[in-house]
Every structure is written in C-alpha cells, then in structure tokens.
Amino acid sequence: MWDMNEVIKIEYRGEYAYHILFDDGIEGEIDFTDYLSRGPIFAALKDLTIFSKATIEGGTIGWPNGADVAPETLYEKILRASKPLQPRTRKRAGRG
C-alpha cells in the first residue's frame, strides 16, 4: 500500500521504460507505452527524445512537456508486478 512515498531515483531503460526507486526501497521497471494514447500531453512522449528526458518532480516522474504520473499509480504498478499470481478461489453458491 502506498503511504505518501516519493520517487527518489529514475533510470531510463530504453524504449518507453524507466526503472523507478521509491524512498522506502520499493523499486521496479515500468513500461509507459500504454500512457502514450492517453491524450495530447502523453502523445508528445512518443518522441523518444522527449520521453528519455524525464526528471523527478514533486516526488514523481515528470517530463519537460508537463506530463507526469501520480506516484501512487507508479507504486501500485510496481507492487502488482512484483507479486506472484495467486490462484483465484471460487465461492460455491448454496453451500455453507
């Protein structure tokens, strides 16, 4: 669970990916490809020259054109990616 943690380090990994480190030690690689179709501000990031120039702004990753992603979104993405898949259990109706 995100607890107001901030991004403290980012490392460009090529294409549309960054490795992100939070102040509590949670870290992981995030592919931002899905964001490129989320409106004009993210569409500009299709240009890898712009995409590769991200910095840490206000505790999260941000780009020179003003695009950024909420730190809690990044944190949750990293946590979900690091958890092994759990089998889903089905409840049986009418049994108790």
Give the domain ranges of the chain.
7-82
CATH of span 7-82: 3.30.2020.10
Torsion-angle region of 32 (φ positive above 0: left; ψ -120 to 50: alpha; else: beta)? alpha
CB 47 within 8 A of CB 39: no
CB 10 within 8 A of CB 61: yes
**pLDDT given at position 87:** 56
Kindly give the residue spans of alpha helices, DSSP state H, lying in 33-70.
40-43, 48-51
**pLDDT given at position 2:** 54
**pLDDT given at position 1:** 59
At 53, phi and psi to the nearest 5?
A: -100, 25
CB 67 within 8 A of CB 44: yes
**pLDDT given at position 84:** 67
Query: Mean pLDDT by 10-residue block, N- to C-terminus, for the chain (96 residues)?
Result: 86 97 96 95 96 97 97 95 64 52
Those residues with Cβ within 8 angstroms of residue 41's Cβ, 6 or more apart along the chain or in another chain: 65, 66, 67
Model confidence, pTM: 0.81
